[in-house]
Structure 1
Amino acid sequence: MKLALLETDILPPDLAGPFGGYGLMFQQLFERAGIEVESTIFSVIQGIYPERPQDFDALLVTGSKADAFSDAPWVLRLADFLRGRQGAGQKLIGICFGHQLLAHSLGGRCERSDKGWGVGVMEYGWQNKPAWLKAQGEAFRLIASHQDQVTALPPGASLLAASAFCPLAAFHIQDQVLALQGHPEFTPAYGKALLRKRWADIGEGRSQAALESFEGGHDGLAIARLMADFIRC
């Protein structure tokens, strides 16, 4: 399985030192999950793209502090690229910012949420289970850190998972596009470090509750296996 990791952020030095970057986090996630995948990281925020994207089984768009509805040139270029790859029939996966950008670029909508920050480990309920989704149970838990939310799904999309805080938390377009708001690649150590960095912006009460939520664990490994099943289907 060949996967292109389209990295959409550069971590500040205090986070990059111990944690690397989002592309590396996905590589480590698949390794922990026991998934054999040949992956290559492309820093699209720096304008680096795969020369032959068709050689990959799927393209995965990582998280970012940027807004999916931004008019920054690199965001507009990436949105145009994703529309082209979707039109070519390539499998696409989006996580957090990637989830939002896929929705926004394919005809849906993403915007700043009036609910404020979604942080800590959050639970999402499955709304439907396509054939490639072999997940057990009715819900899953992932680490979250976002202010923006998808508020309208793109044409042809089906809602995959939801919560009261994030009603459009995951969607798919048949067996070609898979997008999730939560972060399967985040470890609790990184989630806590990012939370502490944003603590003042998020606010004391919500930050403290988010910190306590890490005690219950999360389902990142299960979602990694789900993504692999989606790519193979």
Structure 2
Amino acid sequence: MSLRICILEADDLHPELRDTFVGFGQMFKQLFSQQDATVECQIFNVVKGEYPAPEQEFDAYLVTGSKADSFADDPWIVKLRKYLRQSYAQGKVLLGICFGHQILALALGGKAQRSDKGWGIGMHRYRLLQRPSWLPAQADEFQLLISHRDQVTALPAGASVLASSAFCENAAFVLGRQVLCFQGHPEFTHDFSRGLLKLRESIYCPQLYQAAQQSLSQEHDGQIIAQWMLCFIKASKEQAKVVTEQVEKQARESLCSA
């Protein structure tokens, strides 16, 4: 069952990184292709106002990370929050990473804001708090590369925490079979994280910077999270198919009994 994913790219690479690394949308294309070569991804840069045409259909819509604040009032951010609310109301499957995680929480009635815990950078470990039926049986913990100082501080109504840590309480959440979000970056590589840390070194305290650099000696679980996201999309797609078949069956039965 091939999947089509719409990637809503919410940032452009810093000029100093462009010669060495691909953009955030391309990072996700590479990540998913390593899990399943049949996955088709199309990238739309929402900062530039790019969105899918109304007639385009995708199995899921993924919002990438961004240096921007999800709670800001920049026109493109306001437009994205509105688009996500409409997409949720239309029953679309939505995925969010970092900024995407935060803006989806906000758009659907939760809260995201600057954290009093400061920057989270380097490698970070999380513990799973639940194991939904779509989640493959694996370890109870995972670790991801991170770079954020904003956090989701309240979940949308009906959502539940999937993973947590002492630093980031709402590190991942799910909302039914429609929304799955992670604060960490499964798409990042160690080299990209090193480049990003170096680029922003002046804004971190020296101890935090050194600890983050040292943490990059550890492996991260980006491929596992990519697998989880694809499993979530497939399960949501299968559920939608079952619901459609039930509705069609009821319609046929009504016609026969008329």
Cross-structure match for 1:40: 42
The structure-2 alpha-carbon separation of the partners of 1:168 and 1:198, relative to structure 1 and needing over 3 Å to count, comes to: same
Q: TM-score, normalised by structure 1?
A: 0.98
Q: Secondary structure at the match of 1:221?
A: helix
- Structure 2 vs 1, CA of residues 35 and 202 (structure 1 numbering), >3 Å: closer, same or farther? farther
Among 150, 161, 175, the alignment partner of 1:159 is: 161
SS of the counterpart of 2:188? coil
Give the one of 66, 69, 73 matched to 2:68. 66
C-alpha change, 1:130 and 1:54, in structure 2 (3 Å) is farther
Larger radius of gyration: 2
- Equivalence for 1:114: 116
SS in 1 for 2:77: helix
Q: Name the structure 2 match of 1:197.
A: 199
- In 2, Cα distance between equivalents of 1:62 and 1:73: 17
Q: Return the offset for 1:72.
A: 0.6
Give yes or no for the alignment of 1:85 onto 2:87: yes
Residue aligning to 1:174 = 176
Highest RCO, 1 vs 2 (Cα 8 Å, sep ≥ 6) = 1
SS at match of 2:18: helix
- RMSD after superposition: 1.0
In structure 2, relative to structure 1, the CA distance for the partners of 1:53 and 1:17 (3 Å cut) is farther
Unaligned runs of 5+ in 2: 236-258
State the secondary structure of the residue aligned to 2:144. Answer: strand
**Which deviations, in whole Å up to 9, do the C-alpha atoms of 1:173-204 show, x marking residues without a partner?**
01110010000000000011101111110221
Cα separation, partners in 2 of 1:182 and 1:35, compared to 1, 3 Å: farther
| Aligned-partner Cα distance in 1 for 2:18–2:12 | 8
Whichever residue aligns with residue 135 of structure 2, its letter is L
Residue 53 of structure 1, CA deviation: 6.7
Tell me the TM-score normalised to structure 2 length: 0.88
CA-to-partner distance for each residue in 1:84-140, whole Å, 9 max, x for gaps?
000000000000000000001110000000111000010010011111111411100
- Listed one character per residue, the Cα deviations across residues 16-46 of structure 1 (whole Å, up to 9, x for unaligned) are 2211210000011112234521100000110
Query: In the alignment, is residue 214 of structure 1 matched against residue 237 of structure 2?
Result: no
CA distance in 2, matches of 1:135, 1:190: 29
Q: Kindly report structure 1 stretches of 4+ aligned residues shifted beyond 3 Å.
A: none
| Long gaps (5+) in structure 1 | none
